[in-house]
Amino acid sequence: MKDESKKHKDFFNIPEHTSIPFDLHYICVSEKENTDDIKKFHYMKKYKSKGVILDFYKKNSNILEIDI
């Protein structure tokens, strides 16, 4: 979800300039949780040949905990 707050607006401080495209003044910035992708990958590998669909990476996943 787009962060409409002004919390991190200084992350991009884009000046007005003839070499900077218009759309770059509308970059969105959001806070995200840090995740360990490698651990997720190894976890998923256990299931990759069993035809199991795992949407564990989604926040509304029905898998509450990953036992790595």
- As measured in angstroms, the least distance from the Cβ of 51 to other proteins is 5
Q: Which residues of 39-54 are buried (b: 16+ CB within 10 A; e: fewer)?
A: eeeeeeeeeeeeeeeb
Q: CA–CA separation, 54 vs 26, rounded Å?
A: 34
Site string for other proteins, 5-34 (x = CB under 8 A): ---x--xx---xxxxxxxxxxxxxxxxxxx
- Pick 31 or 67: Cβ nearer other proteins: 31
Per-residue contact string for residues 47-66; x = within reach of other proteins by CB under 8 A? -xxxxxx---x-xx------
Q: Please, what sign has the CA dihedral across residues 33, 38, 42, 47?
A: positive
The footprint of other proteins (CB under 8 A) covers 1-2, 8, 11-12, 16-34, 37-38, 40-41, 44, 48-53, 57, 59-60
